[in-house]
A and B are shown apart, each in its own frame.
Chain A
Amino acid sequence: MAKVPVQFSLNGSEKAEFVDSGATLLAVLRGKAGDTSPKGGCHQGTCGACSVLIDGELRLSCLTLAETCEGAEITTTAGLAEAGVLHPLQRAFMDGFAAQCGFCTPGMLMAAKALLDRTPNPTREDVVEAISGNVCRCTGYEPIIQAILAAARANSHNAA
C-alpha cells in the first residue's frame, strides 16, 4: 500500500512521516514519532487514554487518521513540562496522589488541559464533565477531580 506523507508539529517540533493510509494518529505518534505518552487502552474511543490536543482541541488519537493531521499542531503529555519544570496540572496530580497505576493519567492530563485552556476557573461539575470520557480503574476519580481543581486554583493565584 502506498505510504502517505504527513507533516505536523508535535509539542512544538516539526515532524515528517510516511504513514500507511488508514493508520491512526495514536499508532504514528507511538510507533513512528517516538512519543509513547498517549496510551492505547481500548483502540475504539471509549477509554480516553489516547487523548491528545489537535490545534488546541481535545481529540482521541485512536480514532483520528494520521493523514488528516497534515499541518496540525499536536500536543501530548510529553510536551506539558517545559525545560524540566512540570506543568501545574502534572504538579497537582503528583501532590494530590491522583495517579496510581498511571495508565489513564496522560489522557486525564490532556482532558484537564483542554478544560483549563478554555475555562481557567472551572466548577466541580465542569471538571466532572471534562473527564467523563476518560476511564480510571484505580483512583475512584475523586483525587483526579481535586487535582484539576487545585491546578486551576494555583494558576489563578499565579495570574493574580
Chain B
Amino acid sequence: MAVRRGRGVAAINYPTGMNLGGDPSQALVHSTPTGNFMVTLSSVDLGQGLKQVISQICAETIGVPTDRVVVDTADTDTGPHCMGTFASRGTHRIGNAVIQAAKEARQVMLEVAAEELEVNAADLETDGAGNIHVKGAPQKAISIFDTALSAHFTRGRSISGRGMFLVPRSFPETETGAMKPATCYAHACTVTEVEVDDETGEVTVLTVKNVFEIGRALNPKMVEQQLVGGSWMGISHTLYETTEPYYPARDHGGSDFNEYLMPGPGDLADTEIIVLERPSADGPYGAKGPGEMCANPQIPALANAIFDAVGVRIDHLPITPERILRALKEQRRV
C-alpha cells in the first residue's frame, strides 16, 4: 500500500453553439439623442461577462469608447430573438449579430455627419474617442454627440441598425449521417499530475497545466478568469460532484452543500493557464466560445493520470475513492 504518482494528458476540440434546427440570435442598436448607443438583446448575462464583451464589440464597430454603449438584456417578451446564452455561443453568435446592427447604425451616423459637414460619407472616419472627421483632415470634424443631436432634431434620421446572425440548420446526409452540428471549434490541452493513495482511494491533484486556443480573447482578463475558474470546476466534475452517486438510484445523492461536494479553497491544485489566440474566420473580431470548454480537458486528463498512477480505468464520473478501490480490488482479483 502506497501513495502512487501519475501523469495524464488530454486534448479536446470544443464547438461554439449548437444546431438543433438553426441557431439564430438577433440584436438591435440605436443611438440616444446625445450619441450614446443602446444594444437591445434578449441574451442574459448570468455572470459570464456578456454585457462587457457586447459593449466592446458594439463600441469597436461604431467607433466610440466602450463606456458610451449601454447593453439592455431586456426580457424575452420585449427584446429581439435570441436562442440563449448557453453552448458557449454568446460572444460568437450574439457578437456577430451586434456587429451587423452596429455597422448599419454607423452608416446612418456617418450619413448624418456627412450632411452636417457637407462632405461625402465615404470620406469620413471615426477617431474612437467620440468624433467623426474627414480622412486626412482631422480639423474637419463633428462630435458624435452633435451628430446624434442633428439626427434627432434636425435631420429626422434614426441612427439605428438591425442585426441577425443565423447558423442554418444542418441536415444529416442520408447515406452517411454526416452533418455539421456546430461551428467554430476551440481547442484545449491539459497535462495533470496526481497522487493516488491505493489504500484509501484518495486522489490529490498536484498540478493542472492547461493550454486553451480560443480564437481572439476579446477581453483577456475575463477570459483568464473564466479559464481559471473552469479548470477548478473540471477537477470538481472529475473527482467530486454528483447528485446521483449510484445512478439510477437516488440514494446518497447530495442534497445540500454539506453533502454535495466540491473542492474548497484548501484543495486547490497548482494551476497554470496559457491562452493561444488563433482568430476564427467567422467570429466577431476573431472570437470563439471559451465558455464551457474551460472545464472539459481536465476530466480525461485526470482519468488518464489516475490510470498512470494505479493502473485502473475509471469510466464513470465522479472518480470517487470508492470507485478507485473497487477497481483496484477487481484488478487484484483478475
A residues sitting closer than 8 Å to B (CB atoms) are 41-42, 44, 46-47, 97, 100-102, 127-129, 131-132, 135, 137-145
Partner of A132, one of B222, B231, B265: B265
Q: Known A101-B47, A135-B257; judge A140-B221 contact (CB<8 A).
A: no
Determine if B47 and A102 form an interchain contact, defined as CB atoms under 8 angstroms apart.
yes
Contact of A140 with B231 in the complex, beta carbons under 8 Å: yes
- B265–A141 CB distance below 8 A: yes
- Is the CB–CB distance between B229 and A100 below 8 Å? yes
The residue in A129, A135, A139 that gathers the most chain B C-beta atoms within 10 A of its C-beta is: A139
A59 CA to B224 CA in the complex, in Å?
33
Asked if B264 is at the interface of the complex by the 8 Å CB criterion, the answer is: yes
- Say whether A139 contacts B266, CB under 8 Å: no
Contact A139 B228 (CB under 8 A): yes
Given A97-B221, A100-B48, A100-B225, CB of A145 within 8 Å of CB of B257: no
Q: How many residues of B contact A (CB 8 A)?
A: 24
Answer whether residue B281 sits at the interface, using C-beta atoms and an 8 A cutoff. Answer: no
Binary interface encoding of chain B residues 191-235 relative to chain A, with 1 for a CB under 8 A from any of its CBs, else 0: 000000000000000000000000000000110111011111100
Minimum CB–CB distance for B298 against chain A, Å: 11
**Any chain A CB within 8 A of the CB of B137?**
no
B45-63 toward A: CB 8 Å interface, digit per residue (1/0)? 0111100000000000000
Give A104 to B271 CA distance when docked, in angstroms: 22
Q: Are A131's CB and B265's CB within 8 A?
A: yes
Cα–Cα, bound, A138→B311 (Å)? 33
A135 touches B262 (CB 8 A): yes
Chain B 239-271, CB-CB to A under 8 Å as 1, else 0, gives 000000000000000001110001011101001
- Assess whether A140 is in contact with B264, with CB atoms less than 8 Å apart: no
- Shortest beta-carbon distance, B119 to chain A, in Å? 43
A139 to B262 CA separation, bound complex (whole angstroms): 13
Q: Which residues of A contact B225 (CB under 8 A)?
A: 97, 100, 139, 143
Alpha-carbon distance between A47 and B48 when the two chains are bound, in angstroms? 21
Q: Verify B232–A140 contact, CB threshold 8 A.
A: yes
Of all chain A residues, the one with the shortest Cβ separation from B235 is A140
| Closest chain A residue to B49, Cβ basis | A100
A100:B47 contact, CB within 8 angstroms: yes
In this complex, the member of A42, A97, A132, A137 whose beta carbon has the largest number of chain B beta carbons within 10 angstroms is A97
User: For chain B residues 20-72, which have a beta carbon within 8 Å of chain A?
Assistant: 46-49
**Residues of A close to B265: CB separation below 8 A:** 127-128, 131-132, 141, 144-145
CB distance from A106 to the nearest CB of B (A): 14
CA distance A97 to B222 in the complex (A): 7
Nearest A-chain residue to B48, judged by Cβ: A100
Which one of A46, A47, A140 lies within 8 Å of B228 (CB-CB)? A140
From known contacts A102-B47, A131-B265, A132-B264, infer whether A140 and B224 are also in contact, taking CB-CB under 8 Å: no
For B230, the chain A residues whose CB sits under 8 A away are 140
Contact status of A141 and B264, CB under 8 A, knowing A97-B225, A100-B48: yes
Question: What are 25 A-B residue pairs whose CB atoms fall within 8 Å in the complex?
Answer: A42-B256, A42-B257, A46-B257, A46-B258, A47-B257, A100-B48, A100-B225, A100-B226, A100-B229, A101-B46, A101-B47, A127-B265, A128-B266, A129-B266, A131-B265, A135-B264, A137-B233, A137-B262, A139-B225, A140-B228, A140-B229, A140-B230, A141-B265, A141-B268, A144-B265
Rounded to whole angstroms, the CA-CA distance of A46 and B49 in the bound complex is: 27
Q: Who on chain A is nearest to B294 by CB?
A: A140
Select from chain A the residue with minimum beta-carbon distance to B227.
Answer: A140
Tell me the bound Cα distance from A4 to B222 in angstroms: 47
**A142/B228 in contact, CB under 8 A:** yes
Among A41, A127, A128, A138: residue with most chain B CB under 10 A: A138
A141 touches B232 (CB 8 A): yes
